[in-house]
């Protein structure tokens, strides 16, 4: 962010480096229930990002000193595969992944009804298979669907989406070049139904007016992404219902 380079991010027609308009998202696909062994799972393709989320639990929290007597903890491990970026990434946790895990956990604890499961842990694994900017938002969006797929009681789904500023223009959902050479990136975790913001970060800088414009763009986009999340879950439930009907019919 903020590296000043002679690279044009907005062309003379007002379009972005990948041809998008300022308020346009990258293409997003969401699928629920993609893993057999996890209690819940989701797969998200968001532009060139490819992200898997798997959920286990609620189960007894280990080690025991992590247990909270009145509620469950939501433990998140965000991990980037070594092959997820151009240069092979050193495997294992680093400062960035520890930070993303923490903010994702905090965002999810706002929606999971943790008070129903004292002393338990709900474990969320976010595996970035391919990264191209915006993985924390795509990861949060995927994790939220995976939690719902696991049947974990939640107040609502959370959407992760970012907006920012490139070439002095406020834009939605920064791509890789925009992230590298732009002026600001503002990832947000948002609950469209209630209007709650459960995550807000800013890398780079922009004026207050620009920030509000960016946030509004994200909130609008979040409504659309929320629709994709619900659609993915609806398809998943339909499939389970169909499988169960077939099983019953198979017995007769």
Taking the C-alpha atoms of residue 137 and residue 142, their distance in angstroms, rounded to an integer, is 9
Torsion, CA 202, CA 207, CA 213, CA 217, rounded to 10:
-30
Positive or negative, the Cα torsion across 11, 14, 18, 22? positive
**Residue 48 interacts with ligand ADP (CB under 6 A)?**
no
Query: Who contacts 82 (Cβ-Cβ below 8 Å, separation ≥6)?
Result: 88, 89, 90, 91
Residue 65 burial (10 A CB sphere; 0-12, 13-18, 19+):
exposed
A 10 A CB-CB count for 197 gives 16
Interface pick for ligand ADP out of 176, 189, 206, 222 (rule CB under 6 A) = 176
Task: Cis check for the bond before 63: say yes or no (omega within 30 of 0).
Answer: yes
Quote the least distance from Cβ 244 to ligand ADP, whole Å. Answer: 38
Residue 136 is a binding residue for ligand ADP (CB under 6 A): yes
Least distance from C-beta 249 to ligand ADP, angstroms? Answer: 46
Does residue 81 touch ligand ADP according to CB under 6 A?
no
- 87 contributes a contact to ligand ADP by CB under 6 A: yes
Residue from the set 51, 55, 131, 142 that interacts with ligand ADP by CB under 6 A: 131
Peptide bond into 58 cis (omega under 30): yes
Given candidates 41, 105, 132, 229, which one binds ligand ADP under the rule CB under 6 A? 132
**Buried residues in 145-166 as b, exposed as e (16+ CB within 10 A):** bbbbbbebebebbbbbbbbbbb
* Residue nearer to ligand ADP on the CB measure, 104 or 120: 104
Min CB(199)–ligand ADP separation in Å = 11
| 152 versus 171: smaller Cβ distance to ligand ADP | 171
Can you tell me whether residue 94 is helix, strand or coil?
A: coil
Return the residue of 34, 85, 154, 228 that touches ligand ADP, per CB under 6 A: 85
Chain positions 95 to 124 lying near ligand ADP, rule: CB under 6 A, are 96
Binding part of the chain for ligand ADP, among 11-19, 69-77, 128-136, 165-173 by CB under 6 A, reads: 128-136
What residues numbered 18-47 form the site for ligand ADP, per CB under 6 A? Answer: none
The contact set with ligand ADP (CB under 6 A) reads 85, 87, 89, 96, 131-136, 176, 179
């Amino acid at each position: 962010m903020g590296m000043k380079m002679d690279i044009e991010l907005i062309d003379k027609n007002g379009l972005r480096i990948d041809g998008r308009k300022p308020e346009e998202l990258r293409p997003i696909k969401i699928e629920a229930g993609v893993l057999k062994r996890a209690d819940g799972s989701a797969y998200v393709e968001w532009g060139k990002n490819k992200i898997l989320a798997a959920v286990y639990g609620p189960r007894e929290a280990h080690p025991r000193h992590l247990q909270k007597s009145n509620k469950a903890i939501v433990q998140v491990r965000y991990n980037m595969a070594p092959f997820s970026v151009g240069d092979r990434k050193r495997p294992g946790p680093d400062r960035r992944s520890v930070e993303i895990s923490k903010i994702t956990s905090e965002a999810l604890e706002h929606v999971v009804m943790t008070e129903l499961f004292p002393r338990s842990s709900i474990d969320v694994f976010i595996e970035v298979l391919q990264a191209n900017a915006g993985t924390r938002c795509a990861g949060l969006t995927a994790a939220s669907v995976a939690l719902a797929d696991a049947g974990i009681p939640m107040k609502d789904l959370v959407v992760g989406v970012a907006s920012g500023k490139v070439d002095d223009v406020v834009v939605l959902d920064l791509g890789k070049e925009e992230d590298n050479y732009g002026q600001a990136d503002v990832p947000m975790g948002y609950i469209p139904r209630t209007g709650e913001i459960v995550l807000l970060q800013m890398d780079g800088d922009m004026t207050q007016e620009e920030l509000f414009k960016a946030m509004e763009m994200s909130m609008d986009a979040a409504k659309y992404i929320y629709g994709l999340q619900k659609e993915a879950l609806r398809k998943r439930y339909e499939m389970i219902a169909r499988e169960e009907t077939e099983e019953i019919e198979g017995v007769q």
